[in-house]
Amino acid sequence: MVKPATRIEQIPPYLFARIDKKKAEVRQKGMDLVDFGIGDPDIPTPGNIIARMIKATQDPQNHRYPSYEGMLEFRQAAASWYKKRFNVDLDAATEVVTLIGSKEGIAHIPWAYAQEGDVVLVPSPGYPVYKIATMFAGATPYIMPLREENGFLPRYEDIPEEILKKAKILFINYPNNPTGACADDAFFEKTLELAKRYDILVCHDAAYSEIAYDGYRPKSILEFDREKKHCLEFHSLSKTYCMTGWRIGFAVGCADGIYNLGKLKTNIDSGAFQAIQYAGIEALTGSQASVAELNSKLEKRRDMVVEAFKTLGIDVRKPKATYYIWARVPKGYTSSDFCEKLIEETGIVVTPGSGFGDEGEGYFRISITIAEDKIAEAAKRLRSFRI
Ligand SMILES: *Cc1c(COP(=O)(O)O)cnc(C)c1O
């Protein structure tokens, strides 16, 4: 057998394997699972988007290779959505690039900017791609712990000077997966100061910018980086329009960053299927009623889930945004032990916090992407669960 490359061997073992095994065992015993583990909406893509896709698939023009950087029309739609939403002007030709889902861009950006000897600042707990993509590029991830007492924001003042000098990229993600935390203006301002001082490219993952509750409106980092010199922001249609399976997103921000990411991509992929880009245009420029409906549905579920888990006697707080509730496991348990016990005894699946990095130990994540009747069933089971 051929030995795989070190970069493959060094990928940490799949942390949810234990949970998957437990799930299979419980299912085999005939118990119905209530799965709060998946960050994928159970709600279908809005009809207007699907209709546009169907029409676009019938046009032979769309069966051919798309342009690498994305159709100008899609990038214009993204720019006009951005202007409406954040009041930031973007040049569609030079400050927007189409992505095959935002994960694709996030995974590729370290290849464009970091190499051996460089450092990439990575939050933990966090979306695992930041760290792994950094390692693939041969650069060194430096973990910024996100702690509850700091509102799950990284403390830049704790990062050693010699690390900051070597840092090329800073990954941040607000509203945050998995903690549900949101960033305030002061944090974005501090981030920008750091980027300017040490010449770091800030990569803000804004996958949940449109999933927010109680009237809260998350901000774009480009509202602070008015010169558009230091930041890229990664956006996704996945969570906003229930399009996780379609694979469409975009990055915006400093023209240099967009150019270099685009240059890398032309040598790897051949762009997003044009029919999907047309559907994306419809999503971004058509009626936004579905987004408001989605948020009010999720807000209701969030409240139900919080009530249900409170019966465990633990502190469960309502997040202002994202699909996720992040809570401490009861005293005396590790994340994995608690999650396994919960599955075994109730069939309720939640995600151990340690799966998002060592700093997630002691927490678990509940995803609110399941229907109300399932949540009610979970509430019933939780009432008779003994810690
Ligand atoms: C879902 C998610 C993404 C990726 O979204 P796609 O556009 O579907 O690739 C990126 N970042 C975070 C934090 C996410 O939760």
Which domains are assigned to the chain?
6-44+289-382 (3.90.1150.10), 47-285 (3.40.640.10)
Whole-number pLDDT of residue 114: 98
Give the pairing of strands 363-367 and 351-352.
Answer: antiparallel
Asked whether 173 lines ligand 1 (CB < 6 A), one says: yes
* pLDDT recorded at residue 172: 98
Token pair of 177 as six digits:
């997966």
DSSP string, 298-309: HHHHHHHHHHHH
Average pLDDT per run of 10 along the chain, which is 387 residues long?
92 80 91 92 96 98 87 97 98 97 98 98 97 96 98 98 98 98 98 98 98 98 95 98 97 98 94 97 97 97 96 93 97 94 95 95 97 96 91
Residue among 124, 122, 125 at smallest CA distance from 140: 122
CA distances from 303 to 91, 207, 289, 292 (A): 40, 22, 22, 17
Which of 38, 98, 99, 102 to mutate for ligand 1's pocket (most ligand atoms within 8 Å of CB)?
A: 102
Closest ligand 1 atom, residue 244 Cα: 8
Which residue intervals of the chain are DSSP H helices? 6-9, 17-28, 47-57, 72-86, 102-113, 129-136, 161-166, 185-198, 255-266, 274-285, 289-310, 335-346, 372-383
Question: For the chain, what's the residue count?
Answer: 387
Question: Structure tokens of 36?
Answer: 């709060």
Q: Which of 239, 246, 247 to mutate to test the pocket of ligand 1 (most atoms within 8 A of CB)?
A: 239
Q: CB within 8 A of 143, min separation 6: which ones?
A: 122, 123, 124, 131, 357, 358, 359
3-state per-residue secondary structure call for 158-207: HCCHHHHHHEEEEEECCCCCCCCCCCCHHHHHHHHHHHHHHCCEEEEECC
β-strands 201-205, 140-145 pairing:
unpaired
User: What 3-state class would DSSP assign to 250?
Assistant: strand
- Does the bond joining 66 to the residue before it have cis omega, within 30 degrees of 0? no
Task: Pick the residue whose CA is nearest to atom 11 on ligand 1.
Answer: 207
CB atoms within 10 A of CB 386: 6
Spatial distance between the Cα atoms of 133 and 258, rounded to a whole number of angstroms: 18
Residue 207 CB–ligand 1 contact under 6 Å = yes
Amino acid of residue 176: N
The CA 384 to ligand 1 mean position distance, Å, reads 35
- pLDDT tens digits for range 195-236: 999 999 999 999 999 999 999 999 999 999 999 999 999 999
pLDDT score recorded for residue 39: 86
237 Cα: distance to centroid of ligand 1 (angstroms)? 9
Test site for ligand 1: of 132, 238, 246, 324, most ligand atoms within 8 A of the Cβ: 238
Digit-coded pLDDT (tens) for 77-92: 999 999 999 999 999 9
How many angstroms is it from 177 CA to the middle of ligand 1? Answer: 9
> From CA 211, how far away is CA 291, in angstroms rounded?
8
Residue 301's pLDDT is what? 97
Dihedral of alpha carbons 360, 366, 367, 368, sign: negative
Pairing mode of beta strands 324-328, 363-367: antiparallel
* 3-state SS class at 113: helix
Is the shortest distance between the CB of 126 and ligand 1 below 6 Å? no
Adjacent-strand bridge partners of 314: none
Inter-CA distances, 70 with 66, 95, 186, 271, Å: 7, 12, 34, 6
Q: Is 35 in the pocket of ligand 1 (CB under 6 A)?
A: no
Q: Put residue 151 in one of left, alpha, beta given phi > 0 → left and psi -120 to 50 → alpha.
A: left
Alpha-carbon gap, residue 342 to 375, rounded angstroms: 15
Residue nearest to atom 15 of ligand 1 (CA): 177
